[in-house]
Homo-oligomer: A and B are copies of this chain.
Amino acid sequence: MKIIRTVKAMQLEADGLRMAGKHIGFVPTMGALHAGHLSLIHCAKEEADVVVVSIFVNPTQFGPAEDLDAYPRDFKRDEALVAGAGADFIFYPAVEEMYPEPYHTIVSVDTLTEKLCGASRPGHFAGVTTVVTKLFNAVKPHVAVFGQKDYQQVAVIRRMVVDLNMDVEVVSAPIVREADGLAMSSRNAYLSPGEREDALALSSALEEAERMILSGVRDTGRLWEAIESRVMKKASARIDYIAMVDPDTLEAVESVGQRILIALAVFVGKTRLIDNRLIES
Contacts and interface: CB of A to CB of B under 8 A. Distances in A.
Contacts of A7: 165
Contact of A108 (B102, B108, B112, B159): B108
Contacts of A179: none
A104 interface: yes
Contacts of A134: 163-165
Nearest to A135: B165
A130 B107 CA distance: 9
A134 B108 CA distance: 14
Given A19-B21, A21-B19, A105 B160 contact: yes
A197 to B, nearest CB: 40
Contact of A165 (B15, B104, B137): B137
Interface string A1-29: 00000010001000100110100000000
Contact of A106 (B104, B108, B137): B108
Contacts of A140: 167
A159 B108 CA distance: 17
A212 to B, nearest CB: 32
Contacts of A109: 104-106
Nearest to A130: B164
Contact of A111 (B104, B112, B133): B104
A166 interface: yes
A246 B130 CA distance: 28
Interface of A: 7, 11, 15, 18-19, 21, 102-112, 129-130, 133-134, 137-138, 140, 159-160, 163-167
Q: Which 3 A-B pairs have the closest CB atoms?
A: A105-B163, A137-B165, A134-B165
